[in-house]
């Protein structure tokens, strides 16, 4: 035992320390501190305590001294330590936040942690911690687009009404085309995924042509009618409408939701509508492709089948798309609209107010 240190235990202290050692839920640091004191009281030397507890000589001495000075409570309490570095003064933090909210003076679109640290004379990690504490992320931007359509509210409510409460004895179709789908082949074969390594694709590719997918999503049952075509002019659009007209049972009224692409509004298309009076077009507001339900199907197609696909020809690409559509139609789900149109209109109005107040 260390010279000048004598550890003696009362019965109450011994019972308390033995209870700590026996408690399975006690923190391990408390357990080995209690064992150091118990072994010291039993006359075990420093080397023996070190071997029994797996601690160093200085650790044994420290907790012997702590017990002599503060008793059992001192073993169960950690002393507070002053920070290694003084905290950044509030005025410097405020100045850093002010600079972050302003454009950088150098040729850059946003602040980086390195640039800000160099300017204010702080460590990069300190700048990052301050940004995190204030919810600042200068490198992140959120894309947005507000529709300028003067009839935004009316069109939105009409389309949402078709989704939520479609007319009786009617077919509601969400129709659009996904144009310029490229049949991309890779310059070298990739490697399959294996344990510890993901699949690989070469960064460069060969273009083998393009196709356009015309698709109509039946909102009521979730099925998709798709057709690949070479181009996406009004001629191909009318050809797709004719195919839908043949397949839709007679006596059904057809409501079609589609965007404002020029090929959807040509004189030829208007004359086709006049010859087919059971068809009604509902155009989405400008800059509101998200309102068209079939866009979700296109996103799923891109994400699951096209993005990492390898296609040796346009025929190969079209066959893959057709298989994906057939697979989707085996287990379709009706489209369900959940957003509140009043909340969407209010958010759009707030967006314009914010833009006007800032500019």
Residue 128, pLDDT above cutoff 70:
yes
Percent of the chain with pLDDT over 70: 98
Q: 83 pLDDT exceeds 70?
A: no
User: How does residue 4 score in pLDDT terms, banded at 50, 70 and 90?
Assistant: low
Q: Is residue 11 pLDDT above 60, yes or no?
A: yes
Instruction: For 187-241, list the strands marked E by DSSP.
Output: 205-218, 224-229
Select the more confidently predicted residue: 22 or 358.
22
CA distance 74 to 65: 10
The stretch 95-100 carries a mean pLDDT of 96
pLDDT of residue 277: 94
Mean pLDDT of the region 124-129: 95
Q: Per residue in 287-336, pLDDT tens?
A: 999 999 999 999 999 999 999 999 999 999 999 999 999 999 999 999 99
Whole-number mean pLDDT of the chain? Answer: 92
Q: What is the mean pLDDT of residues 118-125?
A: 94
d(CA 145, CA 342): 18
pTM score of the predicted model: 0.71
Exposure class string for 72-83: b at 16+ Cβ within 10 A, else e: beebbeeeeeee
pLDDT at residue 45, as a whole number: 87
Give the per-residue pLDDT at 357.
Answer: 85
Instruction: Give CA angle at 327 (325, 331), nearest 5°.
Output: 110
Q: Which neighbouring-strand residues pair with 70?
A: none
Half-sphere exposure of residue 136: CA atoms within 13 angstroms, side-chain side: 22
What was the pLDDT predicted at 143?
A: 87
Q: What is the dihedral of CA 45, 50, 55, 58, to 10 degrees?
A: 40
pLDDT band of 72, cuts 50, 70, 90: confident
Residue 3 has pLDDT above 70, yes or no: no
Confidence of residue 144 (pLDDT cuts 50, 70, 90): confident
Is-contact 185 137, C-beta < 8 A? Answer: no
What pLDDT, in 10s, does the model give residues 202-260? 999 999 999 999 999 999 999 999 999 999 999 999 999 999 999 999 989 999 999 99
Flag whether pLDDT at 115 surpasses 80: yes
- Whole-number pLDDT of residue 295: 96
Residue 37 near residue 9 (C-beta atoms within 8 A): yes
CA 62 – CA 67 distance, rounded (Å): 9
In the structure encoding, which two tokens stand for residue 339, read together?
């957003």
pLDDT at 359: 67
Tell me: pLDDT of 71 over 90: no
pLDDT for position 87: 86
């Amino acid at each position: 035992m260390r010279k000048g240190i004598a550890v003696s235990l009362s019965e109450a202290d011994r019972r308390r320390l033995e209870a700590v050692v026996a408690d399975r839920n006690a923190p391990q640091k408390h357990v080995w501190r209690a064992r150091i004191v118990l072994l010291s009281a039993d006359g075990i030397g420093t080397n023996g305590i070190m071997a029994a507890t797996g601690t160093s000589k200085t650790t044994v001495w420290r907790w012997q001294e702590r017990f002599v000075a503060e008793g059992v409570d001192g073993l169960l309490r950690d002393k507070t330590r002053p920070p290694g570095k003084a905290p950044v003064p509030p005025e410097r933090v405020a100045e850093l936040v002010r600079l972050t909210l302003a454009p950088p003076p150098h040729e850059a679109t946003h602040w980086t942690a390195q640039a800000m640290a160099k300017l204010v004379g702080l460590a990069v990690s300190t700048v990052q911690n301050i940004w995190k504490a204030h919810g600042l992320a200068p490198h992140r931007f959120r894309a947005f687009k507000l529709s300028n359509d003067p009839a935004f509210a009316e069109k939105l409510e009409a389309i949402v009404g078709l989704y939520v409460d479609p007319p009786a004895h009617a077919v509601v179709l969400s129709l659009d085309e996904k144009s310029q789908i490229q049949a991309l082949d890779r310059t070298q074969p990739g490697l399959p995924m294996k344990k510890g390594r993901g699949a690989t694709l070469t960064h460069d590719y060969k273009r083998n042509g393009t196709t356009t997918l015309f698709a109509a999503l039946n909102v009521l049952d979730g099925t998709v009618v798709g057709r690949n075509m070479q181009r996406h002019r009004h001629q191909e659009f009318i050809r797709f409408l004719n195919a839908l007209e043949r397949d839709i049972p007679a006596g059904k009224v057809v409501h079609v939701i589609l965007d404002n692409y020029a090929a959807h509004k040509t004189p030829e298309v208007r004359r086709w509508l006049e010859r087919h009076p059971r068809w009604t077009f509902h155009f989405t507001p400008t800059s509101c492709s998200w309102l068209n339900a079939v866009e979700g199907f296109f996103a799923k197609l891109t994400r699951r089948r096209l993005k990492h696909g390898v296609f040796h020809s346009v025929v190969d690409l079209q066959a893959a798309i057709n298989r994906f559509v057939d697979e989707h139609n085996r287990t379709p789900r009706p489209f369900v609209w959940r957003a509140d149109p009043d909340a969407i209109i209010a958010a759009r109005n707030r967006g314009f107010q914010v833009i006007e107040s800032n500019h």
